Amino acid sequence: MLRNTQESMTGKNKIYPYLISSGLVFITNLLGEFVKRKIEPTNLVMFYLLVVVIVAIRWGQGPAIVASILSVLSFDFFLVPPYLTLGVADLQYIFTFVAFLIVGVVVSTLASKAREQVIQHQTEKLQTALLNSISHDLRTPLASITGSLTALLDNTSGLDDTARRELLETAFEETGRLNRLVGNLLDMSRMEAGALRISRKLCELRDVLGTSLEQLKGKIGSRNIRIDISRDFPEIPMDFSFMMKVFLNLVDNALKYSPADTTIEIKTAIFKDKVKIEIRDQGIGIPEGELKRIFDKFYRVERPSRMMGTGLGLSICKGIIEAHSGEIAARNNSDKGATFIIILPLN
Amino acid sequence: MTEKLNLRILVVDDEKAIRHFLRVSLSAHGYNVFESATGKEALEKSVSSHPDAIILDLGLPDMEGIEIVRDVRRRSKIPIVILSVKEDASDKISALDAGADDYLTKPFSTGELLARLRAVVRRLLPPEREEVFRIGKLSVDITKRCVTVNGEEVNLSPTEYDILKLLILNPGRVLTHTQILREVWNKSENYEGILHLLRVTISNLRSKIEPNPDRPTYVLTEPGIGYRLRSED
């Protein structure tokens, strides 16, 4: 596929490289005419090989093979006695032809492979940073899982029950992380491909939040979460599952970045045709200059390394909210911590 | 305990590794495990191995998992727990509407699977003499039509009570919107305003029986699918 793209970019016409190759062989013929009395014909073969190599590097295998065949024919026709016929006076030239063809094909194959690699390298360079980041994030939990499990499988290690339990718990926690990462990558790629299937149906915000919090109950523990939704809060057209992802992400972030003894507040407000939902923590806040960039893909604010994340969560939130024709933003509170604000339309 | 009953479980999944870990962990809990890797084999074994419950992966190579659900339901009421990797709710809804009892999305923990399995096979046990359902601080006496929270009687509207009773009588089952609407209102989802009515009724029910209605722990929402009653403490 890469090659096709490249070809359609460099050659407007597919015949073009073949014509140039033929031209180059023709020029070599002319050159041969000038020097053929001074140089052994078999040495003239080198000129043709040079052409084949150039063609292979520049235009790939097809034109190079055509150049090889044309070269053999021209060489025979112009430079091998009897001249201007395809007949051959000395049978040893047959070996030259065969050897040339083989060398031509091999050289052109190698050269075009090298060429493809160069093209591929350029294209891949664009994705390398992305892939590095993803594979690092995927390998990190895998490394913990492999490490824990191999330690458990190792009969000679003499682990006590506590240690075994700890290793198992580590492996289990890391599978969760791996699963979340894969889910995030899937959401992200669907979003990029425009294939995020949002199905908006009227939902109660209270239910979406409650179900999200129930899923996070392990992480919430005894943390205080205050929810403020007025009795007359309208039902909002939204995708229950996707909006849960948004709240899971935002509440999880709030839990991660704020001290355990502080409260997380979820506040709501109703406007004429939209609603506002705020998730407010009393944590470390977000550096002022990064309030917008945190929604960028793979962007991560410098944090202590124990704060592991994929750098995808917030950009997925943004994608989901925008798919609902809403808006999401972050700001720092005047006193302490950060607030994420979501605006959703009512119709 | 249900584990001691030597219940027969048919595991249907084309992934060998999944079948393997299910066999090991279910056997360790006293279940008798039968396996099949294809839908065709599953249909045969769903008869020949006389399973008490079926764990069924929806993505089989040779046929749609939902076909198996339909086929089994034509013949019996064996509990069926669906396994699926898809996050798409519509597959689960159609499997549940076709008669599956519950679903788990891969990856899942063994503990979760065992809990779901215990809940669905509870139906197979002889009915308890005591017809009072208890969970947390909630207790419901179906014969006396009496609901109490913390020992104090709670007044539920007729539809609130009907929904609660429906959930109680279907232990371990996820009830889809369609199923609840049919049972409680005898209406389809297309009936104007009926889904809103369902949401409001659930919300009111929760505010009467849940310790914290903002974070329900008895009547649980299955996003985009329906509701279930928490089955274990």
Instruction: Dump pLDDT digits (tens) for B178-219.
Output: 999 999 999 998 898 999 999 999 999 999 999 999 999 999
Kindly determine whether residue B223 and residue A206, on different chains, have CB atoms separated by under 8 Å.
no
Q: What is the DSSP string of B40-61?
A: HHHHHHHHHT--SEEEEESB-S
- pLDDT for residue B1 is more than 50: no
Model confidence over A175-186: pLDDT tens digits?
988 888 888 888
Residue A244 has pLDDT above 80, yes or no: yes
Its pTM surpasses 0.80: no
Per-residue pLDDT at B72: 94
What is the predicted ipTM?
Answer: 0.81
Confidence tier at A102 by pLDDT (50, 70, 90): confident
Helix axes A61-74, A16-35, angle to 10 degrees: 30
Question: Which residue type, as a one-letter code, is found at position A216?
Answer: L
Residues in A lying within 8 Å of B, measured between beta carbons: 172, 175, 179, 183, 199, 201-204, 206-207, 209-211, 213-214, 217, 227, 229, 235, 239-241, 244
How close is the nearest chain A Cα to the Cα of B4, in Å? 26
B220 touches chain A (CB under 8 A): yes
Q: Determine the Cα–Cα distance for residues A328 and A330; give it in Å rounded to an integer.
A: 7
Which residues are within 8 A (CB) of A169 and not within 5 positions of it... i.e. 6 or more apart?
none
Mean pLDDT of B158-168: 94
Does residue B98 have a pLDDT over 60? Answer: yes
Can you tell me the distance from the alpha carbon of B179 to that of B201, in angstroms, rounded to the nearest whole number?
Answer: 15
Each residue of A306-322: b (16+ CB within 10 Å) or e?
A: eeebbbbbbbbbbbbbe
- pLDDT 10s digits, B148-160: 999 999 999 999 9
Give the pLDDT mean for A262-289. 94
Q: Mean pLDDT, to the nearest integer, of B101-124?
A: 88
Q: What is the pLDDT of residue A306?
A: 44
Q: What is the mean pLDDT of chain B?
A: 89
Q: Is the pLDDT of residue A3 over 50?
A: no
Confidence tier at A242 by pLDDT (50, 70, 90): very high
| B175 close to B227: Cβ distance less than 8 angstroms | yes
Query: Which residues 54-93 in chain B show a CB within 8 A of chain A?
Result: 87, 89
Task: Give all strands of the β-sheet with B138-141 in edge-to-edge order.
Answer: B132-135, B138-141, B146-149, B152-153
What is the average pLDDT across B157-175?
92
